[in-house]
Structure 1
Amino acid sequence: MKVKNNSNQSILCVIAHPDDEALGVGGTLIKHIDKGDEVNIVIFSIGETSKIKKNINPDRRLESAENWSKEVGSNIYSILNYPDQKLDTVPKLEIIQTLETIFKKIKPDIVYTHHDGDINHDHQIVSHAILTALRPMNSFNLKPEIRTFETISSTEQAPNTDKYIFKPNLYVDIENVWEKKIKALKNYNNELATYPHPRSIKSIEALAVKRGTESGLKKAEAFYIMRKIWL
């Protein structure tokens, strides 16, 4: 299934940490922007350390996120400054109400967020909170499509059981924006590693080729449509 070419949509990408958007949904966001959609990013935590290089401070990670967003043409709508890897210490109701406030203002047509089976617990919390905040009978009468994406080094590291496995049902052709995705991703150089680490360029490309092979494309990003309501 390919993305329908509707223009002027409001797109919201909600992520736990900087670089999650670049890795998991970067090519698709670039395609949205190229066709005129407005793309907003919400980041839960800048993170106290880099995943790869432990001496990278939060200011450097924030700069990387801003540079990535500027390069692709998206907008960092909000940085929530929740504690890194400690979202389970924040009351769930607080997280849900924060998201509800954002949804009311942005009124997204499509929301992208983490696969709820990722090994990273922050990813799980963000994903579950979005599904709750956007329950069909929400008080602000929004029914956006919710798409979850895989984050290399987190999704595939989870146990190989039904509870955790990422089972995509939507594929987006990113062959024509692949070079733009990788060029923008290099704003996060401090989060990249050398092969065979999953956060190497070679591994990232291998995943894109794998998803492409599954869908008859050369390179693709894969998603699971968690909820879609046709009005």
Structure 2
Amino acid sequence: MKVLVIAAHPDDEVLGMGGTIKKYTKNKHQVKIVIMATGIFARRSQNYKNSTTYAFDKKTTKTMEDKLADLRRDSKKSAKIMGVNDIEFMDFPDNEMDTVSNLEVTKKIESVIEHFQPTIVFTHSQYDVNVDHRVLYNATITATRPTSSCSIEKVISFEVPSSTEWYFPSQFSPNMFVNIDKELETKIKALMAYKNEIRDFPHPRSTEAISVIAKRWGTVSGFPAAEAFCLVRQINNDVL
């Protein structure tokens, strides 16, 4: 089976479904990760922390470009921990994907789908405070529309802690759960590969919070630890 993970920023793929990715690769399925936006420039700073400044000078831009290269090295390291060697980076503007036409984003995703021919596509939830996440959901739904030549059987959305849960008053409402009890340790290790993205507890993007969130979904689904998803669309050739 071919599994395509479409994520907005580096570390979204781990936060959303790192355990499930590891489960797929352990079972010899082919996983491809696509990171659509740079994931760093919106901070407008040189130290990986958010700044209230919008514009920055050429010197800062050069420093940020070096940090982006470092971040992508972390992404590749994290992917390998999860058993993934196929990771592709796009260059859409970080936290400004709403400035790009839905058509352009959709066409990029369609191109990836055409070459990879996935069976399952994962992407962000539409119920998310991050504009890039919402843009990707909408573009993915368009790019995966059912046609006679389409290989995609399922489209599934995931949450991203520190973003999805802050979208008030609507909320991510999962209807699928994956047991990641044996993969939780790997998920945390993969997240730690993003050395500049980890935060201290109780921030949702801390290793402690990731464990708590997995155990919370476990209490919902009857597993020691779980990741939660929403099945957006399923196309069956056979009866259910």
The residue that corresponds to 1:18 in the other structure is 10
- Partner in structure 2 of residue 73 of structure 1: 83
> Where does residue 53 of structure 1 map in the other structure?
48
Q: Is the Cα–Cα contact under 8 Å of residues 50 and 191 in structure 1 kept in the other structure? A: no
Please provide the CA RMSD for this pair. 1.7
C-alpha separation in 1, matches of 2:229 and 2:116: 22
**1:77 Cα offset (Å):** 3.9
Q: 1:186 and 2:192 equivalent?
A: yes
Q: TM-score, normalised by structure 2?
A: 0.86
Choose 1 or 2 for highest CA Rg. Answer: 2
Tell me which amino acid in the other structure corresponds to 2:164.
Answer: T
Q: Classify the secondary structure of the residue corresponding to 1:146.
A: strand
Say if 2:221 is the partner of 1:219: no
Which residue in the other structure is 1:151 paired with? Answer: 160
**What letter corresponds to residue 53 of structure 1 in structure 2?**
Y
Matched, 1:84 2:90: no
The separation in 2 between residues aligned to 1:219 and 1:47, in whole angstroms, is 28
Whole-angstrom distance in 2 between the partners of 1:118 and 1:131: 16
Task: Write the letter of the residue equivalent to 1:142.
Answer: S
Task: Give how far 1:49 is off.
Answer: 4.2
CA displacement, residues 17-73 of structure 1 (integer Å, 9 cap, x when unaligned): 000001110000000000000000011012234879338721121111011112222
How far apart in 2 are the matches of 1:100 and 1:31? 26
TM-score by length of structure 1 reads: 0.90
Q: Deviations over 1:54-100 (max 9, x none)?
A: 38721121111011112222134421111111111111111111111
Which residue of structure 1 lines up, in the alignment, with residue 134 of structure 2? 124
Unaligned 5+ residue runs, structure 1?
1-8
Unpaired segments ≥5 residues, structure 2: 50-62
Q: Which amino acid aligns with 1:183?
A: K
**What is aligned with 1:93?**
103
Q: Which residue in the other structure is 1:40 paired with?
A: 32
Which of 194, 197, 202 does residue 203 from structure 2 map onto? 197
Number of aligned positions between the proteins: 219
CA gap of 1:76–1:86, structure 2 versus 1, over 3 A, is: farther
Aligned in 2, Cα 1:33/1:50: closer, same or farther, shift over 3 Å? farther
Contact 1:28 1:174 in 2 (8 A): yes
Whether contact under 8 Å (2:188, 2:210) holds in the other structure is no
Q: Do the aligned residues in 2 keep the contact of 1:112 with 1:148 (CA within 8 Å)? A: yes
Q: 8 Å contact 2:127–2:167 — kept in the other structure? A: yes
The amino acid that maps onto 2:27 is K
CA distance in 2, matches of 1:159, 1:134: 27
